[in-house]
Amino acid sequence: MAYNTQRKKLLLPEYGRYIHEWIQYCCEIPDREERNLCARAIIEVMGNMNPQLRDSQDFHHKLWDHLFIMSENKLDIDSPFPKPDLKSNHTPPEKIPYPTKKIKFRPYGRTIERIIEKAKSLPEGDEKNELIRQIANHLKKSYMNWNKEQIGDDVVFQHLNALSEGGLKASEGLTLSSHEELRGNQNKKHFKKVKNRFHRNNHRK
């Protein structure tokens, strides 16, 4: 018995081995007109294997590209589209850089650190003070979610000071939301708006 692991590797496994073997047979047909008929029959079968893609604008173009790819561009037929460049199809994508910067406080995550950096650049005033309050409330809630225990406002302010490297300071007499209010997501909607605005500003740059 021949196992698939012992056979030739499939170029496009989603079409299965029979389609690959059929294409190989098509390549070996001596008569060009007969090869054309065989190729179109294969295209019909390939299209029936992916009916959900039929509404796609370039559906047929993709099918013909896949046909040539599986034949390694050896198929000599009259195609409505040019043969694809096999070299460009085998070019591996660039690696996505993985963040290497250490998170100062893991319960808070990396996104809040970026928001804090943005908040530090805001001019002094009511808007900045309100953002500081919302950030502090978010730190308090995140800490509770991670540790399943309460945390004092003074500790939250210490963490905020450390995360901002002294750039953000809570106004005197600032009182954060209670643990019960935070568990009820009282500040969730407002903080979500803050994060969305932060991401929109970054995308514009």
Tens digits of per-residue pLDDT, 171-203? Answer: 888 888 887 777 765 445 555 555 565 666 555
Predicted local distance difference test score (pLDDT) of residue 171: 81
Predicted local distance difference test score (pLDDT) of residue 88: 66
Structure tokens at 156: 């939250």
Predicted local distance difference test score (pLDDT) of residue 19: 93
Mean of pLDDT over the chain: 81
Is residue 19 within 8 Å of 70, Cβ to Cβ? Answer: yes
Structure tokens at 205: 């740059």
C-alpha dihedral, 14 to 17 to 20 to 24, nearest 10°: 180
pLDDT tens digits, 104-118 = 777 777 888 888 888
Q: What mean pLDDT comes out for the span 2-30? A: 85
pLDDT above 50 (res 146) = yes
Confidence at 45, pLDDT banded by 50, 70, 90: very high
Predicted local distance difference test score (pLDDT) of residue 186: 47
CA–CA distance, 145 with 131 (Å, rounded to integer): 21
Task: Name the H helices within the chain.
Answer: 16-27, 32-49, 59-70, 86-89, 111-120, 126-147, 153-163, 179-183, 188-204
Cα–Cα nearest to 72, from 90, 56, 55: 90
CA 163, chain centre distance (Å):
27
Predicted local distance difference test score (pLDDT) of residue 202: 57
Q: What mean pLDDT comes out for the span 7-22? A: 87
pLDDT above 90 (res 39) = yes
CA 116, chain centre distance (Å):
24
pLDDT tens digits, 59-71 = 889 899 999 999 9
DSSP state of 4: G
Confidence at 25, pLDDT banded by 50, 70, 90: very high
Q: What mean pLDDT comes out for the span 82-92? A: 74
pTM above 0.95, yes or no: no
CA distances from 87 to 12, 75, 91, 109 (A): 15, 17, 7, 41
